[in-house]
Structure 1
Amino acid sequence: MSSKERIKAVIFDWAGTVIDYGCFAPMHAFIQTFEEAGVPITDREARVPMGLLKWDHIHAILQMERVETAWITKYGTQAVKEDIDRLYVRFEAILMESLKTYTDPIPGALETVEQLRNAGLAIGSTTGYTASMMAVIVPEAKRKGYSPDCLVTSDEVKAGRPYPYMIFRNLVELGIYPPKAVVKVGDTVSDIQEGRNAGVWTVAILLGSSELGLTQAEVESLHPDELAERMNQTRLIFEQAGADYIIGSIAQLPLVIEELERSGLERGTR
Protein backbone atom coordinates (compact mmCIF):
# COMPACT_ATOMS: atom_id res chain seq x y z
CA MET A 1 0.00 0.00 0.00
CA SER A 2 2.91 2.35 0.65
CA SER A 3 3.74 2.47 -3.08
CA LYS A 4 0.25 3.67 -3.94
CA GLU A 5 0.13 7.01 -5.72
CA ARG A 6 -1.33 9.63 -3.42
CA ILE A 7 -2.79 13.09 -3.72
CA LYS A 8 -0.48 15.32 -1.66
CA ALA A 9 -2.23 18.69 -1.73
CA VAL A 10 -5.52 20.39 -2.49
CA ILE A 11 -5.47 24.02 -3.62
CA PHE A 12 -8.75 25.80 -3.00
CA ASP A 13 -10.18 29.00 -4.38
CA TRP A 14 -11.69 31.24 -1.68
CA ALA A 15 -14.98 33.06 -2.40
CA GLY A 16 -17.68 30.75 -3.77
CA THR A 17 -15.62 27.67 -2.91
CA VAL A 18 -14.78 27.72 0.81
CA ILE A 19 -16.33 31.01 2.00
CA ASP A 20 -19.01 33.46 0.74
CA TYR A 21 -21.75 31.14 -0.52
CA GLY A 22 -22.58 32.20 -4.07
CA CYS A 23 -19.60 34.58 -4.23
CA PHE A 24 -21.65 37.71 -3.65
CA ALA A 25 -19.10 40.17 -2.23
CA PRO A 26 -17.38 40.99 -5.55
CA MET A 27 -20.57 40.74 -7.61
CA HIS A 28 -22.34 43.47 -5.63
CA ALA A 29 -19.26 45.68 -5.84
CA PHE A 30 -18.98 45.28 -9.62
CA ILE A 31 -22.66 46.06 -10.10
CA GLN A 32 -22.50 49.17 -7.90
CA THR A 33 -19.31 50.39 -9.60
CA PHE A 34 -20.80 50.22 -13.09
CA GLU A 35 -24.11 51.65 -11.87
CA GLU A 36 -22.28 54.70 -10.52
CA ALA A 37 -20.41 55.02 -13.83
CA GLY A 38 -23.74 55.27 -15.66
CA VAL A 39 -23.36 51.94 -17.47
CA PRO A 40 -25.42 49.39 -15.48
CA ILE A 41 -24.53 45.71 -15.87
CA THR A 42 -26.50 42.54 -15.15
CA ASP A 43 -25.72 39.93 -12.49
CA ARG A 44 -24.60 37.55 -15.22
CA GLU A 45 -22.29 40.10 -16.84
CA ALA A 46 -20.71 40.73 -13.44
CA ARG A 47 -20.17 37.00 -12.90
CA VAL A 48 -18.83 35.72 -16.24
CA PRO A 49 -15.18 36.76 -15.64
CA MET A 50 -15.29 35.83 -11.92
CA GLY A 51 -12.03 34.49 -10.53
CA LEU A 52 -9.79 36.81 -12.54
CA LEU A 53 -7.62 39.50 -10.98
CA LYS A 54 -10.18 42.24 -10.31
CA TRP A 55 -8.62 44.81 -12.67
CA ASP A 56 -8.68 42.16 -15.41
CA HIS A 57 -12.28 41.36 -14.43
CA ILE A 58 -13.37 44.96 -15.05
CA HIS A 59 -11.49 44.96 -18.35
CA ALA A 60 -13.29 41.74 -19.36
CA ILE A 61 -16.71 43.24 -18.54
CA LEU A 62 -15.92 46.30 -20.66
CA GLN A 63 -15.04 44.04 -23.60
CA MET A 64 -18.49 42.39 -23.58
CA GLU A 65 -20.34 43.55 -26.68
CA ARG A 66 -23.43 44.90 -24.90
CA VAL A 67 -21.41 46.68 -22.21
CA GLU A 68 -18.93 48.08 -24.74
CA THR A 69 -21.81 49.50 -26.79
CA ALA A 70 -23.44 51.00 -23.68
CA TRP A 71 -20.12 52.57 -22.66
CA ILE A 72 -19.61 54.12 -26.10
CA THR A 73 -23.19 55.43 -26.03
CA LYS A 74 -22.51 57.02 -22.64
CA TYR A 75 -18.98 58.36 -23.20
CA GLY A 76 -18.61 58.54 -26.98
CA THR A 77 -15.57 56.24 -27.11
CA GLN A 78 -14.33 52.84 -25.97
CA ALA A 79 -13.05 52.52 -22.42
CA VAL A 80 -9.28 52.95 -22.10
CA LYS A 81 -6.79 51.97 -19.38
CA GLU A 82 -7.43 55.14 -17.39
CA ASP A 83 -11.16 54.32 -17.31
CA ILE A 84 -10.42 50.84 -16.01
CA ASP A 85 -8.04 52.27 -13.41
CA ARG A 86 -10.73 54.68 -12.23
CA LEU A 87 -13.40 51.97 -12.08
CA TYR A 88 -11.02 49.69 -10.21
CA VAL A 89 -10.26 52.30 -7.53
CA ARG A 90 -13.98 52.73 -6.90
CA PHE A 91 -14.62 48.97 -7.02
CA GLU A 92 -11.89 48.32 -4.46
CA ALA A 93 -13.30 50.97 -2.11
CA ILE A 94 -16.80 49.46 -2.29
CA LEU A 95 -15.48 45.92 -1.88
CA MET A 96 -13.25 46.74 1.10
CA GLU A 97 -16.27 48.13 2.98
CA SER A 98 -18.17 44.86 2.66
CA LEU A 99 -15.55 42.09 2.52
CA LYS A 100 -15.61 41.33 6.22
CA THR A 101 -19.30 40.43 6.08
CA TYR A 102 -18.75 37.83 3.33
CA THR A 103 -16.41 35.45 5.15
CA ASP A 104 -18.76 32.75 6.47
CA PRO A 105 -17.62 29.22 5.55
CA ILE A 106 -19.76 27.39 2.99
CA PRO A 107 -21.57 24.40 4.58
CA GLY A 108 -19.32 21.33 4.60
CA ALA A 109 -16.13 23.29 3.88
CA LEU A 110 -14.57 23.19 7.36
CA GLU A 111 -15.36 19.51 7.81
CA THR A 112 -13.93 18.65 4.40
CA VAL A 113 -10.71 20.58 4.99
CA GLU A 114 -10.29 18.88 8.37
CA GLN A 115 -10.85 15.46 6.78
CA LEU A 116 -8.20 16.18 4.13
CA ARG A 117 -5.73 17.43 6.72
CA ASN A 118 -6.29 14.33 8.84
CA ALA A 119 -5.44 12.28 5.75
CA GLY A 120 -2.09 14.11 5.53
CA LEU A 121 -2.86 16.47 2.65
CA ALA A 122 -1.51 20.02 2.48
CA ILE A 123 -4.07 22.79 1.97
CA GLY A 124 -3.12 25.56 -0.45
CA SER A 125 -5.15 28.43 -1.87
CA THR A 126 -5.31 30.91 -4.75
CA THR A 127 -7.65 33.84 -5.31
CA GLY A 128 -8.65 36.60 -7.67
CA TYR A 129 -8.50 38.96 -4.68
CA THR A 130 -5.42 41.07 -4.02
CA ALA A 131 -3.21 40.85 -0.92
CA SER A 132 -4.86 43.94 0.61
CA MET A 133 -8.31 42.40 0.15
CA MET A 134 -7.17 39.12 1.67
CA ALA A 135 -5.74 41.03 4.64
CA VAL A 136 -9.38 41.74 5.52
CA ILE A 137 -10.66 38.24 4.76
CA VAL A 138 -7.94 36.00 6.27
CA PRO A 139 -8.35 36.98 9.96
CA GLU A 140 -12.15 36.71 9.72
CA ALA A 141 -12.00 33.32 7.99
CA LYS A 142 -9.47 32.09 10.55
CA ARG A 143 -11.74 33.22 13.38
CA LYS A 144 -14.52 31.21 11.76
CA GLY A 145 -12.35 28.09 11.43
CA TYR A 146 -10.63 28.26 8.05
CA SER A 147 -6.90 28.84 7.62
CA PRO A 148 -5.07 27.14 4.72
CA ASP A 149 -1.37 26.27 4.86
CA CYS A 150 -0.57 28.56 1.95
CA LEU A 151 -2.18 31.58 0.30
CA VAL A 152 -1.04 33.22 -2.93
CA THR A 153 -2.95 36.24 -4.22
CA SER A 154 -3.30 37.39 -7.81
CA ASP A 155 -1.13 40.48 -7.34
CA GLU A 156 1.77 38.49 -5.85
CA VAL A 157 2.60 36.80 -9.17
CA LYS A 158 3.35 37.95 -12.72
CA ALA A 159 -0.23 37.30 -13.84
CA GLY A 160 -3.39 35.93 -12.21
CA ARG A 161 -5.82 33.40 -13.63
CA PRO A 162 -6.03 31.80 -16.09
CA TYR A 163 -2.23 31.69 -15.80
CA PRO A 164 -0.92 28.94 -13.47
CA TYR A 165 1.57 31.00 -11.47
CA MET A 166 -0.40 31.12 -8.20
CA ILE A 167 -0.61 27.33 -8.22
CA PHE A 168 3.09 27.02 -9.01
CA ARG A 169 3.91 29.33 -6.07
CA ASN A 170 1.75 27.15 -3.80
CA LEU A 171 3.65 24.04 -4.89
CA VAL A 172 6.98 25.71 -4.18
CA GLU A 173 5.87 26.99 -0.77
CA LEU A 174 4.31 23.67 0.22
CA GLY A 175 7.14 21.58 -1.25
CA ILE A 176 4.76 19.51 -3.34
CA TYR A 177 5.65 17.61 -6.53
CA PRO A 178 4.58 16.36 -9.08
CA PRO A 179 1.57 18.39 -10.31
CA LYS A 180 -0.45 15.20 -10.85
CA ALA A 181 -0.42 14.76 -7.06
CA VAL A 182 -2.34 18.03 -6.69
CA VAL A 183 -6.03 18.92 -7.00
CA LYS A 184 -7.28 22.45 -7.72
CA VAL A 185 -10.83 23.11 -6.49
CA GLY A 186 -12.88 26.11 -7.56
CA ASP A 187 -16.24 27.54 -8.55
CA THR A 188 -15.45 29.46 -11.76
CA VAL A 189 -14.25 28.76 -15.29
CA SER A 190 -11.05 30.69 -14.58
CA ASP A 191 -10.34 28.34 -11.64
CA ILE A 192 -10.54 25.36 -13.99
CA GLN A 193 -8.38 27.08 -16.63
CA GLU A 194 -5.80 27.91 -13.95
CA GLY A 195 -5.66 24.28 -12.84
CA ARG A 196 -5.46 22.88 -16.36
CA ASN A 197 -2.67 25.29 -17.25
CA ALA A 198 -0.76 24.16 -14.16
CA GLY A 199 -1.14 20.48 -15.08
CA VAL A 200 -3.00 19.58 -11.88
CA TRP A 201 -6.35 17.83 -11.45
CA THR A 202 -9.35 20.16 -11.53
CA VAL A 203 -12.58 19.88 -9.54
CA ALA A 204 -15.51 22.27 -10.00
CA ILE A 205 -18.16 22.74 -7.30
CA LEU A 206 -21.79 23.53 -8.15
CA LEU A 207 -23.54 24.47 -4.88
CA GLY A 208 -22.30 27.76 -3.47
CA SER A 209 -20.50 28.60 -6.71
CA SER A 210 -20.35 31.90 -8.51
CA GLU A 211 -21.32 30.10 -11.70
CA LEU A 212 -24.58 28.89 -10.13
CA GLY A 213 -25.02 32.34 -8.60
CA LEU A 214 -27.62 31.50 -5.95
CA THR A 215 -27.74 32.28 -2.24
CA GLN A 216 -28.11 29.39 0.17
CA ALA A 217 -31.68 30.52 0.90
CA GLU A 218 -32.49 30.50 -2.83
CA VAL A 219 -31.04 27.00 -3.21
CA GLU A 220 -33.13 25.75 -0.31
CA SER A 221 -36.35 27.41 -1.52
CA LEU A 222 -36.16 26.56 -5.24
CA HIS A 223 -38.37 23.78 -6.58
CA PRO A 224 -36.16 20.66 -6.93
CA ASP A 225 -36.74 20.53 -10.70
CA GLU A 226 -35.71 24.16 -11.14
CA LEU A 227 -32.61 23.67 -8.98
CA ALA A 228 -31.67 20.53 -10.93
CA GLU A 229 -32.04 22.44 -14.21
CA ARG A 230 -29.85 25.31 -13.00
CA MET A 231 -27.23 22.90 -11.68
CA ASN A 232 -27.22 21.05 -15.01
CA GLN A 233 -26.67 24.32 -16.88
CA THR A 234 -23.76 25.12 -14.57
CA ARG A 235 -22.38 21.59 -14.95
CA LEU A 236 -22.33 22.09 -18.73
CA ILE A 237 -20.28 25.30 -18.33
CA PHE A 238 -17.70 23.41 -16.26
CA GLU A 239 -17.67 20.46 -18.68
CA GLN A 240 -16.94 22.85 -21.55
CA ALA A 241 -14.14 24.40 -19.48
CA GLY A 242 -12.57 20.94 -19.20
CA ALA A 243 -12.99 20.20 -15.49
CA ASP A 244 -11.79 16.71 -14.58
CA TYR A 245 -14.51 16.32 -11.96
CA ILE A 246 -17.70 18.24 -11.18
CA ILE A 247 -19.28 17.77 -7.75
CA GLY A 248 -22.50 18.99 -6.18
CA SER A 249 -20.90 20.19 -2.97
CA ILE A 250 -17.49 20.50 -1.35
CA ALA A 251 -18.37 17.60 0.96
CA GLN A 252 -17.99 15.22 -2.01
CA LEU A 253 -14.34 16.15 -2.58
CA PRO A 254 -12.82 13.32 -0.47
CA LEU A 255 -14.64 10.80 -2.71
CA VAL A 256 -13.01 12.35 -5.78
CA ILE A 257 -9.59 12.08 -4.15
CA GLU A 258 -10.24 8.41 -3.30
CA GLU A 259 -11.19 7.76 -6.93
CA LEU A 260 -8.06 9.51 -8.20
CA GLU A 261 -5.85 7.45 -5.91
CA ARG A 262 -7.56 4.23 -6.97
CA SER A 263 -6.76 5.11 -10.59
CA GLY A 264 -3.10 5.62 -9.71
CA LEU A 265 -3.40 9.32 -10.64
CA GLU A 266 -3.25 8.34 -14.29
CA ARG A 267 -4.89 10.77 -16.66
CA GLY A 268 -6.92 9.48 -19.57
CA THR A 269 -7.87 11.64 -22.52
CA ARG A 270 -9.28 14.93 -21.36
Structure 2
Amino acid sequence: MYNRRYTGKIELAVLDTAGTFCDGPGDLRNRWALDDLRGCKAPVVPFYEALQQFGIECDWATIRKPMGNFKPTHLRMLLSLPEVSAQWEEKYGRPWNEDDFDNVLAAFRPLMSKYIVDEDLAKPIPGAVECIDKLREAGILIGCDTGYYQEDSIALNKMLEEKFGMKFDVVTNAEKVPGRPAPFMVYDCMLQAYEITKKAIPCEAVVKIDDTAAGMKCGNNAGAWTIGLYASGSNTYDELAASKPDFLVPHVGYVPEIIFGQIEPRLRRGERPGQGIIETI
Protein backbone atom coordinates (compact mmCIF):
# COMPACT_ATOMS: atom_id res chain seq x y z
CA MET A 1 0.00 0.00 0.00
CA TYR A 2 1.05 3.62 -0.46
CA ASN A 3 0.84 6.47 2.02
CA ARG A 4 2.84 8.81 -0.20
CA ARG A 5 5.58 6.27 0.43
CA TYR A 6 5.39 2.50 -0.02
CA THR A 7 4.71 0.87 3.35
CA GLY A 8 3.95 -2.68 2.26
CA LYS A 9 6.04 -5.85 2.23
CA ILE A 10 8.78 -7.15 -0.01
CA GLU A 11 7.26 -8.69 -3.13
CA LEU A 12 10.30 -9.74 -5.20
CA ALA A 13 13.84 -10.90 -4.43
CA VAL A 14 16.31 -10.90 -7.33
CA LEU A 15 19.34 -13.10 -6.73
CA ASP A 16 22.56 -13.26 -8.69
CA THR A 17 23.83 -16.70 -9.68
CA ALA A 18 27.45 -17.76 -9.03
CA GLY A 19 28.73 -16.73 -5.61
CA THR A 20 25.22 -15.86 -4.46
CA PHE A 21 23.08 -19.00 -4.46
CA CYS A 22 25.51 -21.50 -6.06
CA ASP A 23 29.24 -21.92 -6.77
CA GLY A 24 30.32 -20.93 -3.28
CA PRO A 25 33.73 -20.86 -1.60
CA GLY A 26 35.79 -24.01 -1.21
CA ASP A 27 39.26 -25.46 -1.65
CA LEU A 28 39.66 -26.87 -5.14
CA ARG A 29 43.42 -26.49 -5.41
CA ASN A 30 43.55 -30.18 -6.30
CA ARG A 31 42.02 -29.10 -9.62
CA TRP A 32 43.23 -25.51 -10.00
CA ALA A 33 46.49 -24.60 -8.29
CA LEU A 34 45.66 -20.88 -8.36
CA ASP A 35 42.31 -21.35 -6.61
CA ASP A 36 41.88 -18.42 -4.19
CA LEU A 37 39.29 -20.36 -2.13
CA ARG A 38 36.58 -17.77 -2.85
CA GLY A 39 33.26 -18.53 -4.49
CA CYS A 40 32.22 -17.73 -8.05
CA LYS A 41 34.89 -19.91 -9.64
CA ALA A 42 32.86 -21.01 -12.68
CA PRO A 43 33.51 -17.78 -14.64
CA VAL A 44 37.11 -17.44 -13.45
CA VAL A 45 38.37 -20.80 -14.71
CA PRO A 46 37.28 -20.39 -18.36
CA PHE A 47 38.72 -16.88 -18.53
CA TYR A 48 41.99 -18.20 -17.13
CA GLU A 49 42.14 -21.16 -19.53
CA ALA A 50 41.05 -19.16 -22.58
CA LEU A 51 43.73 -16.52 -22.01
CA GLN A 52 46.33 -19.24 -21.47
CA GLN A 53 45.60 -20.48 -24.98
CA PHE A 54 46.91 -17.11 -26.20
CA GLY A 55 49.95 -17.10 -23.92
CA ILE A 56 48.48 -14.67 -21.39
CA GLU A 57 48.76 -15.51 -17.69
CA CYS A 58 46.27 -13.91 -15.29
CA ASP A 59 45.95 -14.58 -11.60
CA TRP A 60 42.46 -15.08 -10.29
CA ALA A 61 42.35 -11.76 -8.46
CA THR A 62 42.91 -9.96 -11.77
CA ILE A 63 40.24 -12.01 -13.52
CA ARG A 64 37.77 -11.16 -10.75
CA LYS A 65 38.12 -7.39 -11.12
CA PRO A 66 35.29 -6.97 -13.70
CA MET A 67 33.10 -9.70 -12.15
CA GLY A 68 29.35 -9.21 -12.35
CA ASN A 69 29.38 -7.86 -15.90
CA PHE A 70 28.05 -9.65 -18.98
CA LYS A 71 30.81 -12.03 -19.98
CA PRO A 72 31.85 -10.31 -23.25
CA THR A 73 31.98 -7.02 -21.34
CA HIS A 74 33.99 -8.74 -18.62
CA LEU A 75 36.51 -9.98 -21.19
CA ARG A 76 36.83 -6.56 -22.80
CA MET A 77 37.43 -4.94 -19.40
CA LEU A 78 39.92 -7.68 -18.51
CA LEU A 79 41.94 -7.25 -21.70
CA SER A 80 41.95 -3.49 -21.08
CA LEU A 81 43.53 -3.78 -17.64
CA PRO A 82 47.11 -2.43 -17.79
CA GLU A 83 48.65 -5.65 -16.46
CA VAL A 84 46.87 -7.71 -19.13
CA SER A 85 47.20 -5.35 -22.10
CA ALA A 86 50.93 -5.01 -21.35
CA GLN A 87 51.32 -8.79 -21.53
CA TRP A 88 49.51 -8.85 -24.86
CA GLU A 89 51.73 -6.15 -26.35
CA GLU A 90 54.87 -7.87 -25.08
CA LYS A 91 53.85 -11.20 -26.61
CA TYR A 92 52.43 -9.97 -29.92
CA GLY A 93 54.24 -6.66 -30.41
CA ARG A 94 51.00 -4.69 -30.69
CA PRO A 95 47.86 -3.89 -28.69
CA TRP A 96 45.00 -6.36 -28.86
CA ASN A 97 42.32 -5.59 -31.43
CA GLU A 98 38.74 -6.64 -32.15
CA ASP A 99 39.82 -9.78 -33.98
CA ASP A 100 41.85 -10.78 -30.93
CA PHE A 101 38.87 -10.10 -28.70
CA ASP A 102 36.64 -12.26 -30.88
CA ASN A 103 39.19 -15.08 -30.88
CA VAL A 104 39.59 -15.10 -27.10
CA LEU A 105 35.83 -14.92 -26.64
CA ALA A 106 35.40 -17.86 -29.04
CA ALA A 107 37.84 -19.86 -26.91
CA PHE A 108 36.03 -18.81 -23.74
CA ARG A 109 32.48 -19.78 -24.79
CA PRO A 110 32.78 -23.60 -24.79
CA LEU A 111 34.82 -23.51 -21.59
CA MET A 112 32.12 -21.45 -19.89
CA SER A 113 29.44 -23.88 -21.02
CA LYS A 114 31.52 -26.73 -19.62
CA TYR A 115 32.32 -25.28 -16.22
CA ILE A 116 28.94 -23.72 -15.47
CA VAL A 117 27.52 -27.22 -14.93
CA ASP A 118 30.66 -28.68 -13.35
CA GLU A 119 29.54 -30.74 -10.35
CA ASP A 120 32.17 -29.18 -8.06
CA LEU A 121 30.79 -25.72 -8.85
CA ALA A 122 27.12 -26.02 -9.77
CA LYS A 123 25.71 -26.77 -6.35
CA PRO A 124 23.81 -24.56 -3.91
CA ILE A 125 25.66 -22.58 -1.29
CA PRO A 126 24.69 -23.84 2.20
CA GLY A 127 21.53 -22.02 3.24
CA ALA A 128 20.48 -21.10 -0.32
CA VAL A 129 17.68 -23.65 -0.69
CA GLU A 130 16.35 -22.80 2.78
CA CYS A 131 16.51 -19.08 1.99
CA ILE A 132 14.45 -19.46 -1.17
CA ASP A 133 11.93 -21.68 0.64
CA LYS A 134 11.46 -19.12 3.45
CA LEU A 135 11.01 -16.23 1.05
CA ARG A 136 8.56 -18.15 -1.09
CA GLU A 137 6.55 -19.21 1.98
CA ALA A 138 6.16 -15.49 2.74
CA GLY A 139 4.73 -14.88 -0.72
CA ILE A 140 7.89 -13.33 -2.16
CA LEU A 141 8.58 -14.08 -5.82
CA ILE A 142 12.09 -15.37 -6.50
CA GLY A 143 14.03 -13.90 -9.40
CA CYS A 144 17.39 -14.88 -10.83
CA ASP A 145 19.67 -12.60 -12.84
CA THR A 146 23.11 -13.32 -14.22
CA GLY A 147 25.96 -12.09 -16.37
CA TYR A 148 26.08 -15.51 -18.05
CA TYR A 149 24.90 -16.12 -21.59
CA GLN A 150 21.26 -17.15 -21.77
CA GLU A 151 22.11 -20.65 -23.01
CA ASP A 152 24.47 -21.24 -20.09
CA SER A 153 22.04 -19.79 -17.57
CA ILE A 154 19.28 -22.11 -18.78
CA ALA A 155 21.59 -25.13 -18.46
CA LEU A 156 22.62 -24.18 -14.92
CA ASN A 157 19.09 -23.47 -13.72
CA LYS A 158 17.87 -26.75 -15.23
CA MET A 159 20.57 -28.65 -13.35
CA LEU A 160 19.81 -26.85 -10.07
CA GLU A 161 16.11 -27.62 -10.39
CA GLU A 162 16.60 -31.28 -11.29
CA LYS A 163 19.28 -32.04 -8.68
CA PHE A 164 18.41 -29.70 -5.83
CA GLY A 165 14.81 -28.60 -6.35
CA MET A 166 15.79 -24.95 -6.82
CA LYS A 167 13.27 -23.17 -9.02
CA PHE A 168 12.90 -19.48 -9.85
CA ASP A 169 9.70 -17.65 -10.63
CA VAL A 170 11.34 -15.17 -12.99
CA VAL A 171 14.73 -15.28 -14.70
CA THR A 172 16.75 -12.91 -16.82
CA ASN A 173 20.28 -12.46 -18.12
CA ALA A 174 22.58 -9.86 -19.59
CA GLU A 175 22.20 -11.28 -23.08
CA LYS A 176 18.48 -10.47 -22.96
CA VAL A 177 18.73 -6.94 -21.53
CA PRO A 178 21.68 -4.63 -20.76
CA GLY A 179 23.57 -6.03 -17.79
CA ARG A 180 25.04 -4.66 -14.58
CA PRO A 181 25.59 -2.03 -13.35
CA ALA A 182 22.56 -0.88 -15.38
CA PRO A 183 19.23 -1.61 -13.64
CA PHE A 184 17.51 -3.42 -16.48
CA MET A 185 17.83 -7.02 -15.26
CA VAL A 186 16.01 -5.99 -12.07
CA TYR A 187 13.40 -4.17 -14.14
CA ASP A 188 12.99 -7.21 -16.40
CA CYS A 189 12.33 -9.39 -13.34
CA MET A 190 9.79 -6.81 -12.14
CA LEU A 191 8.05 -6.90 -15.53
CA GLN A 192 7.88 -10.70 -15.46
CA ALA A 193 6.56 -10.57 -11.90
CA TYR A 194 3.82 -8.22 -13.08
CA GLU A 195 2.90 -10.68 -15.81
CA ILE A 196 2.47 -13.36 -13.12
CA THR A 197 0.62 -11.32 -10.49
CA LYS A 198 -1.00 -8.62 -12.64
CA LYS A 199 0.04 -6.27 -9.85
CA ALA A 200 2.53 -3.43 -10.16
CA ILE A 201 5.52 -3.91 -7.87
CA PRO A 202 7.23 -0.69 -6.76
CA CYS A 203 11.02 -0.59 -6.63
CA GLU A 204 10.90 -0.30 -2.83
CA ALA A 205 9.25 -3.75 -2.72
CA VAL A 206 12.25 -5.35 -4.46
CA VAL A 207 15.49 -6.68 -2.95
CA LYS A 208 18.62 -7.23 -5.08
CA ILE A 209 21.01 -9.81 -3.61
CA ASP A 210 24.49 -10.16 -5.09
CA ASP A 211 28.13 -10.93 -4.32
CA THR A 212 29.55 -8.31 -6.71
CA ALA A 213 29.94 -4.55 -6.60
CA ALA A 214 28.41 -4.41 -10.08
CA GLY A 215 25.35 -6.18 -8.71
CA MET A 216 25.02 -3.71 -5.85
CA LYS A 217 25.22 -0.82 -8.31
CA CYS A 218 22.55 -2.52 -10.42
CA GLY A 219 20.22 -2.72 -7.41
CA ASN A 220 20.99 0.84 -6.37
CA ASN A 221 20.33 2.11 -9.89
CA ALA A 222 17.02 0.24 -9.91
CA GLY A 223 15.91 1.87 -6.65
CA ALA A 224 15.71 -1.51 -4.91
CA TRP A 225 16.99 -2.58 -1.51
CA THR A 226 20.44 -4.16 -1.81
CA ILE A 227 22.06 -6.95 0.20
CA GLY A 228 25.73 -7.64 -0.50
CA LEU A 229 27.23 -11.06 0.25
CA TYR A 230 30.87 -10.65 1.22
CA ALA A 231 32.02 -14.18 2.14
CA SER A 232 30.46 -16.44 -0.49
CA GLY A 233 31.44 -14.96 -3.82
CA SER A 234 33.80 -12.81 -5.80
CA ASN A 235 34.08 -9.40 -4.13
CA THR A 236 35.44 -8.69 -0.67
CA TYR A 237 33.70 -6.79 2.11
CA ASP A 238 35.55 -3.57 1.27
CA GLU A 239 34.82 -3.87 -2.45
CA LEU A 240 31.12 -4.34 -1.77
CA ALA A 241 31.01 -1.60 0.88
CA ALA A 242 32.39 0.89 -1.64
CA SER A 243 29.26 0.39 -3.75
CA LYS A 244 27.07 1.39 -0.77
CA PRO A 245 24.58 -1.46 -0.42
CA ASP A 246 21.89 -1.24 2.24
CA PHE A 247 23.10 -4.37 4.04
CA LEU A 248 26.22 -6.53 4.08
CA VAL A 249 26.06 -10.15 5.26
CA PRO A 250 28.35 -13.16 4.82
CA HIS A 251 26.09 -15.29 2.64
CA VAL A 252 22.58 -15.88 1.35
CA GLY A 253 21.51 -17.75 4.48
CA TYR A 254 21.22 -14.40 6.27
CA VAL A 255 18.85 -12.90 3.71
CA PRO A 256 15.52 -13.91 5.31
CA GLU A 257 16.37 -12.32 8.66
CA ILE A 258 17.44 -9.12 6.89
CA ILE A 259 14.24 -8.96 4.85
CA PHE A 260 11.84 -9.85 7.67
CA GLY A 261 13.71 -8.31 10.58
CA GLN A 262 15.23 -5.21 8.99
CA ILE A 263 13.80 -4.20 5.63
CA GLU A 264 10.09 -4.80 6.15
CA PRO A 265 9.97 -2.95 9.50
CA ARG A 266 11.68 -0.02 7.78
CA LEU A 267 9.16 -0.13 4.96
CA ARG A 268 6.31 0.03 7.47
CA ARG A 269 7.89 3.21 8.83
CA GLY A 270 8.02 4.65 5.32
CA GLU A 271 11.80 4.34 4.94
CA ARG A 272 13.36 3.89 1.54
CA PRO A 273 16.43 2.05 0.23
CA GLY A 274 19.61 3.82 -0.76
CA GLN A 275 20.49 5.54 2.51
CA GLY A 276 23.94 3.93 2.75
CA ILE A 277 24.96 0.84 4.71
CA ILE A 278 22.36 0.29 7.42
CA GLU A 279 23.76 -2.85 8.97
CA THR A 280 26.55 -5.38 8.62
CA ILE A 281 26.50 -8.88 10.05
For Structure 1 versus Structure 2, the TM-score category normalised by the shorter chain is 0.7 to 0.9
| Structure 1 position 182 matched with structure 2 position 206 | yes
User: Residue 127 of structure 1 aligns to a residue in which SS?
Assistant: coil
Q: How does 1:8-27 map to 2 (within 5 A)?
A: 8-21=11-24, 22-27=39-44
Partner of 2:136: 117
Q: How does 1:32-181 map to 2 (within 5 A)?
A: 32-101=49-118, 102-143=121-162, 144-157=164-177, 159-175=178-194, 176-181=200-205
Partner of 2:266: 263
Q: How does 1:170-249 map to 2 (within 5 A)?
A: 170-175=189-194, 176-211=200-235, 234-249=236-251
Partner of 2:279: none
Aligned CA RMSD, in angstroms, stands at: 1.7
User: Residue 139 of structure 2 aligns to a residue in which SS?
Assistant: coil
Contact 2:246–2:275 (8 Å) recurs in 1: no
1:50-86 superposed Cα distances (whole Å, 9 cap, x missing partner): 1111100010111111111111111222222221111
1:147-204 superposed Cα distances (whole Å, 9 cap, x missing partner): 11011011111x2111111111110010152101100000111111111111111111
Distance in 2 of aligned mates of 1:137 and 1:74: 36
Name the TM-score, length of structure 1 as normaliser.
Answer: 0.87
Question: Shift of residue 136 of structure 1?
Answer: 1.7
1:75-117 superposed Cα distances (whole Å, 9 cap, x missing partner): 2222222211111111111121222123201000000100000
Distance in 2 of aligned mates of 1:263 and 1:164: 23
Question: Shift of residue 2 of structure 1?
Answer: 11
Q: Quick one: percent identity of the two aligned structures?
A: 30
Contact 2:231–2:237 (8 Å) recurs in 1: no
Aligned partner letter, 1:82: D
Aligned length: 247
Question: Shift of residue 135 of structure 1?
Answer: 2.5
User: Residue 24 of structure 1 aligns to a residue in which SS?
Assistant: coil
Question: Shift of residue 241 of structure 1?
Answer: 1.1
User: Residue 145 of structure 2 aligns to a residue in which SS?
Assistant: strand
Distance in 1 of aligned mates of 2:275 and 2:166: 35
Distance in 1 of aligned mates of 2:228 and 2:275: 18
Q: Which runs of 5+ in 1 are unaligned?
A: 212-233
Question: Shift of residue 8 of structure 1?
Answer: 0.8
Bigger mean CA deviation after superposition, 115-124 or 142-151: 142-151
Aligned partner letter, 2:175: D
Aligned partner letter, 2:248: I
Aligned partner letter, 1:269: Q
Name the TM-score, length of structure 2 as normaliser.
Answer: 0.84
Contact 1:13–1:125 (8 Å) recurs in 2: yes
Distance in 2 of aligned mates of 1:2 and 1:93: 48
User: Residue 19 of structure 1 aligns to a residue in which SS?
Assistant: coil
User: Residue 246 of structure 1 aligns to a residue in which SS?
Assistant: strand
User: Residue 11 of structure 1 aligns to a residue in which SS?
Assistant: strand
